[in-house]
Amino acid sequence: DEDIESLSALAVQAGVAIENARLHRVVERQAVTDALTGLANRRQFYEVLGREYERSQRFGTPLSLILLDIDDFKHINDTRGHLAGDAVLHGVATTLAELIREIDMAARYGGEEFAILLPMTTTSGAKEVAERCARRLGATPLEVDGVPPLKITASMGVAACTGGTCGDL
């Protein structure tokens, strides 16, 4: 009986420890993830950008960045409401996540702005990714609350470092 009681107490403590570890992982993930889009947040983006920049400089490999801004987003919020705006942000995030490689990182940079970090990618490769994103966004109208679908476009810019020629970021 004494052994069973001791083992039961130990099992309860183990269960609590496992739950604490799970909750710690959840909180860590929440600290670096944008809640609405599920993408990395700005803090995580800057942390990974710093590491990738250092790697690019050390090994002389290319590193590219795409900044994306959803066109007329304020108009969508003003005419369709913030829930529609949230649906657009989520839809754009989903599209970006589908179009990038596993080593790339898409992040919500701010309001309706996104950043895509492309390690080991030249300027021309980054332009191809940006064009693919633009085509996919334009070709996939977003359904929002059963009203006419929204056609989404975005403005994008590409920056790249090649072979250690980034300068100071």
Q: Is 101 exposed, middle or buried (0-12, 13-18, 19+ CB in 10 A)?
A: exposed
112 is catalytic: yes
CA nearest 98: which of 133, 74, 59?
133
Mapping DSSP to helix (H, G, I), strand (E, B) and coil, where does residue 118 land? strand
Give the pair of three-digit tokens for residue 4.
Answer: 């069973």
Report how far residue 46's alpha carbon sits from residue 110's, in angstroms, rounded to the nearest whole number: 13
Q: Cα dihedral sign for 89, 33, 67, 119?
A: negative
Residue 62, token pair as written in the block? 């290319």
How many C-beta atoms lie closer than 10 Å to residue 69's C-beta?
A: 15
Catalytic, out of 112, 113, 128, 143: 112
Partner residues linked to 63 by β-bridges: 119, 161
* Cα of 69 vs its chain's centroid, Å: 14
Positions annotated as catalytic residues are 112
